[in-house]
């Protein structure tokens, strides 16, 4: 049987000394950061960097809006739903891809917004959405 004298153990520190582990951990952390650097490269499309404007940037933006009564507007000009569909089809045939600003009255039915968004999504156009108040 082993016995310990508590009087002789009282002077010993019972905490583990972690100083010897700090250097290897620091070295491993540095190696991990150096090895992960090649994997964090961000792919960029150099052909579309600022400089010369692309054909899409040169086109005037298109504004499609609707009011609470469900009336549609093409650049503030009233259009019917059929006429809107025809104009969007003409854009698709021409290969034109302008930025579209879609603005709706805050009191309008959500159904109108979804129908217009679906028509624009079929063309693959970039949509910027705005909400305007009914007083405008």
Give me the residue spans of the domains in the chain: 16-40, 56-132
What length is written for the chain? 136
End-to-end Cα distance, the chain: 94
Of the candidate CATH numbers 3.30.420.270, 3.30.420.240, 3.30.70.1450, 3.60.120.10, the domain formed by 56-132 belongs to 3.30.420.270
pLDDT digits (tens, 9 = 90+) for 30-70: 888 888 776 666 555 555 555 555 555 556 778 888 888 88
- Residue 24: the pLDDT is 86
Q: Is the pTM of this model over 0.85?
A: no
pLDDT digits (tens, 9 = 90+) for 86-102: 888 888 788 777 778 88
Q: For the chain, what is the mean pLDDT?
A: 75
Is the pLDDT assigned to residue 136 strictly greater than 50? no
Greater confidence (82 vs 12) lies with 82
């Amino acid at each position: 049987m082993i016995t310990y004298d508590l009087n002789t153990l009282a002077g010993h520190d019972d905490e583990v000394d972690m100083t010897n582990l700090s250097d290897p951990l620091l070295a491993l952390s540095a190696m991990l950061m150096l090895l992960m650097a090649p994997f964090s490269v961000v792919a960029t499309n150099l052909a579309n960097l600022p400089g010369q404007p692309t054909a899409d940037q040169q086109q005037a933006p298109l504004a499609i809006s609707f009011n609470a009564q469900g009336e549609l507007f093409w650049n503030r000009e009233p259009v019917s739903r059929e006429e809107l569909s025809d104009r969007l089809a003409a854009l698709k045939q021409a290969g034109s891809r302008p930025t579209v600003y879609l603005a709706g009255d805050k009191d309008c039915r959500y159904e109108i917004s979804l129908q217009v968004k679906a028509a624009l999504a079929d063309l693959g156009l970039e949509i910027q959405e705005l909400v305007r108040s009914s007083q405008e």
